[in-house]
Amino acid sequence: MFVLIAVREDENMEKMSRTILHVDMNNFYASVECLYRPEIRNHPVAVAGDPLNRHGIILAKNMIAKKMGVKTGEAIWEAKQKAPGLITVPPDFQKYLRFSRLARKILYDYTDQIEAFGLDENWADVTGSLGLFGTGYDIAEKIRQRVKDELGVTVSIGVSFNKIFAKLGSDLKKPDAITAISADEFEKIVWPLPAGDLLYVGKATERKLRNLGVITIGGIANCPVDVLTRLLGKWGEVLWLFANGKDNAPVRKFDESASVKSIGNGTTCPRDLTTEEDIKLVFMVLAESVAARLRDYGLKCTGVQIMVRDSSLYYMTRQSKLDKPTYLSSDILAGAMKLFNLNYDWRRPVRALALSGINLVTEHSGIELSLFDDPQQDVIKEKLANTVDGLRKRFGHNAVLRASALLDNRLTGFNPKEEHTIHPVSYFR
């Protein structure tokens, strides 16, 4: 959820004078792997999961593979059809976390206003550093060169007066490039671009806009805001503000944005899912992982969010509130299944699922009970869940399994808690 805040003209002008960078590490996972394995760097390379289990579709690819048509999110066999000789390597997230921290350390030499947008992307507000290091472009050039020299990987950097256009700028030229979008020139640079280039304009939204005759970012900017709101709800006004350069969101300091906002896991399934029972089995494993991680943090979720990707790679996300805060897998699973059944029409089989606990609170937060709640039952279930956590920590994940997990070991034989993929955080907090 978010709130649109009206600001006075003088406040707005002050915000418009900001200088913000968006630093995007190019082909991050693949670049790091090629750095450690110089013998493969001149070949098409992709970071992916086990091709036998189809866990982990293409997570990242190097520039050579990209030029051959390999896309993030597609199945490994599809990628290899486009790029014969494609070398796939398993992900090593600890390695990527290390490089992410090292890159952020370089940024800290120029500002303490740094906000992560996933492992490989950061915003940096350098407004207060211009007197020390020169223009925003000068600072971007220093960062670009230092990351290349000190870490051996490249970055693309956008320089602009707000976060949205800085992000857009970093996407315009890749790899190893800098793009500046000023307040005076953004209409000339940004407005001719496809609507889908704007942050949070996904395929479904782009399709709706196209049906309206809106095909560029300029089209969004010049469309009556009430028309966009009728078409897209609240997002219509948000996208109109983005397109018109009216994003005033601050760059949060890293320690302000690093607190846990949601906890989730996802998986690409070893086979396409064709029944509700298949979906439930996979969501069960994901729900147990999410619940266990919530308990590790001493948190409960008050809502759930699901992501469903079908066999055509189209995906949808949905979220809803839960009746009460919880870190029990049964509650999270029930919420996920309710969301799925309400929103998925089974036009195509399901290839990948993700599940998150959202809107987190501390485990001891007070809640309002209904007349029909039985708090004692929840206490018993929570004690049981914590006991299972203890057994798994001591004897391994497979020491305690649900009987239903044995129905199809191909679908349930993974441990997302220990082998989870780190996804970008949301722009809205």
Who wins on pLDDT, 399 or 207? 207
Q: How many CB atoms lie within 10 A of CB 251?
A: 24
The Cα–Cα gap between 231 and 123 comes to 30
Which range has the worst mean pLDDT, 166-170, 228-232, 249-253?
249-253
Strands 299-310 and 315-326: antiparallel
Q: In which band, very low, low, confident or very high, does the pLDDT at 1 lie, cut at 50, 70 and 90?
A: very low
Question: CATH 1.10.150.20 occupies which residues in the chain?
Answer: 191-252
Question: Amino acid letter at 352?
Answer: A
Overall average pLDDT of the 153-159 stretch:
97
Q: Is 52 a residue whose pLDDT tops 80?
A: no
Overall average pLDDT of the 104-117 stretch:
93
What number does CATH give the domain 16-183? 3.30.70.270
Overall residue count recorded for the chain in this entry:
429
The reported pLDDT for the residue numbered 15 is: 43
Question: Amino acid letter at 344?
Answer: Y
Catalytic residue among 33, 74, 115, 121: 121
CATH class for the domain made up of 259-412: alpha beta
The reported pLDDT for the residue numbered 8 is: 40
Q: In which band, very low, low, confident or very high, does the pLDDT at 114 lie, cut at 50, 70 and 90?
A: very high
Q: Does the annotation count 121 as an active-site position?
A: yes
- From the options 3.30.200.20, 1.10.10.10, 1.10.150.20, 3.40.50.300, give the CATH code of 191-252: 1.10.150.20
Q: In which band, very low, low, confident or very high, does the pLDDT at 254 lie, cut at 50, 70 and 90?
A: low
- CA distances, 95 to each of 35, 184, 209, 343 (Å): 11, 41, 40, 37
Q: Is 249 a residue whose pLDDT tops 80?
A: yes
In 57-213, where do the E strands start and end? 60-61, 87-89, 114-116, 121-125, 155-160, 178-181
Q: Is 116 a residue whose pLDDT tops 70?
A: yes
- CA distances, 43 to each of 39, 74, 94, 256 (Å): 9, 19, 24, 40
Q: Is 73 a residue whose pLDDT tops 90?
A: no
Beta bridge mates, 22: 123, 158
Q: Which of 209-218, 229-238, 293-302, 352-361 has the highest mean pLDDT?
A: 209-218
Q: In which band, very low, low, confident or very high, does the pLDDT at 5 lie, cut at 50, 70 and 90?
A: very low
CB 60 within 8 A of CB 271: no
The Cα–Cα gap between 322 and 237 comes to 27
Give the tens place of pLDDT for each residue, 261-277. 788 888 888 888 999 99
The reported pLDDT for the residue numbered 396 is: 56
Token pair, residue 278, equals: 């298949």
Who wins on pLDDT, 367 or 81? 81
The reported pLDDT for the residue numbered 429 is: 45
Question: CATH 3.30.70.270 occupies which residues in the chain?
Answer: 16-183
Give the tens place of pLDDT for each residue, 14-41. 444 899 999 999 999 999 999 999 999 9
Q: Is 301 a residue whose pLDDT tops 60?
A: yes
- CA distances, 204 to each of 74, 233, 426 (Å): 18, 14, 18
In 78-154, where do the E strands start and end? 87-89, 114-116, 121-125
Q: Is 423 a residue whose pLDDT tops 50?
A: no
Q: What percent of the chain has pLDDT over 70?
A: 77
The reported pLDDT for the residue numbered 263 is: 86
pLDDT, averaged across the chain? 83
The reported pLDDT for the residue numbered 97 is: 87
